[in-house]
Structure 1
């Protein structure tokens, strides 16, 4: 059983104490969920970070945060908005630097509309325009992330094309940009928009995959249910993960934190993870 992949979890600092012993026993990956909140980032975020560091005293695992995302499309074409978005992501990296976190989750700019319309032109100018806007916003963020040893992982949100985030990440030619797959978002896209199934998203990310949000869903909405409560085909997902050498962080991101241990037990009983 010890050769099974190790599960981590996404938690707000207020819930860390409940899982502290379980986390520290094997230095499980942790993703802190507090620091996407704009009010916190503009306020006393250091007190929350200090609390997290205190609870995780002695922790030697891989620590990450979910970066800001509300209203912050990293392909926004408005120069005024671009400056604001750059500043917000730099705030997220300031938190990472303070905490010693080495990963920050950011959201994909691509929508379902993009999938159906970016080819609705005579050349690839629409694709290039999105990437150019992303570079205008994220170039200084990527440079700062390189300086402090943080990798930003681009999470699928509405993405129907499983390749498009990898292409975006590769365009920066930087170790500070990689790919995340959220299993529930991929399953929503599969069920609601005709995207490929979740295991295809894993395979198409390939060795650029450094982060996975594990949540179960029904293919209709972004449920964040406990593993086993939806209809994602988990054996196929973990077969795809087993093909990788990139050791992505496997983060249980559940709406109900009280169901985290149930999810760990379900995956362990299935012989998929521990």
Structure 2
């Protein structure tokens, strides 16, 4: 199982021994605060575990009506891919930048335009050998993501069930899973807020569907000690194996 823990890139070096002890890979968030810190990236240790990155996303939107924001977004994403290579990452996750509260019609209208704006990023990721994944965030349903994924076949899908249940109008996983995700963000929530709790603490009910996607890359996006999530996964796997016998 390709299981990774989400953390900030600043914490990657310090956390490396514990990650190796737990048998986990990592997904490092490329915090814009340190993205320009050459020392941090050039002197990063070569790690023995699998590594992906989460590209910057706060206040970024490739389709922002402010051209300075749109230009900054493109530069941030492209530079983030360069940093991913410096760290030795094999995968990178990004958000669409769709603002919260958009209607399904607005999301669909935006989708083909976003796909064209994203094309240089997809092209650069392919040239660098980094697999790129688009994560569901504030999309009201999967329809707009499907348009983007069909326009850009090199782009994969990252499914976050908590985002779907808290932010979207389509809380059930099946419509999203029809997009064939190969990268998953796993955490739990309280039904109202994206808490990033450990698995099993809240209302996510990942056990209802996760068994079909154990070959995907699984990223624990939890705050604090991930041990409860690891115990939950161990119990889930034991139950899955028992039911298969």
- TM-score, with length taken from structure 1: 0.76
Please tell me whether the aligned partners of residues 162 and 200 of structure 1 are also in contact (alpha carbons under 8 angstroms). Answer: no
Please state if 1:157 is matched with 2:137: yes
Please tell me whether the aligned partners of residues 4 and 50 of structure 2 are also in contact (alpha carbons under 8 angstroms). Answer: no
CA distance in 2, matches of 1:184, 1:52: 31
Please state if 1:195 is matched with 2:195: no
Instruction: Find 2:71's aligned residue among 80, 83, 92.
Output: 83
CA distance in 1, matches of 2:235, 2:110: 47
State the 1:112 CA deviation: 5.1
Please tell me whether the aligned partners of residues 95 and 137 of structure 2 are also in contact (alpha carbons under 8 angstroms). Answer: yes
Aligned to 2:85: 97
For the residue of structure 2 that corresponds to 1:131, the secondary structure is helix
Please tell me whether the aligned partners of residues 114 and 148 of structure 2 are also in contact (alpha carbons under 8 angstroms). Answer: no
Aligned to 1:38: 32
Aligned to 1:143: 123
State the 1:218 CA deviation: 1.7
CA RMSD of aligned residues (A): 2.7
State the 1:131 CA deviation: 2.1
CA distance in 2, matches of 1:26, 1:262: 13
- TM-score, with length taken from structure 2: 0.84
CA distance in 2, matches of 1:201, 1:185: 14
For the residue of structure 2 that corresponds to 1:40, the secondary structure is coil
Instruction: Find 1:47's aligned residue among 39, 59, 64.
Output: 39
For the residue of structure 1 that corresponds to 2:45, the secondary structure is helix
Please tell me whether the aligned partners of residues 31 and 63 of structure 1 are also in contact (alpha carbons under 8 angstroms). Answer: yes
Aligned to 2:229: 263
- Give the 5 Å matches for 1:108-257: 108-111=96-99, 113-118=101-106, 127-136=108-117, 138-173=118-153, 175=154, 177-189=155-167, 194-197=169-172, 199-206=173-180, 209-241=181-213, 247-256=215-224
CA distance in 1, matches of 2:14, 2:235: 23
For these two proteins, the number of residue pairs brought into alignment is 240
Higher helix share: 1
Unaligned stretches of 5+ residues in structure 2: 241-245
CA distance in 1, matches of 2:176, 2:111: 23
Please tell me whether the aligned partners of residues 202 and 241 of structure 1 are also in contact (alpha carbons under 8 angstroms). Answer: no
Aligned to 2:25: 29
Structure 1 pair 96–231 and aligned structure 2 pair: CA distance change class (3 A): same
CA distance in 2, matches of 1:51, 1:217: 36
CA distance in 2, matches of 1:68, 1:98: 16
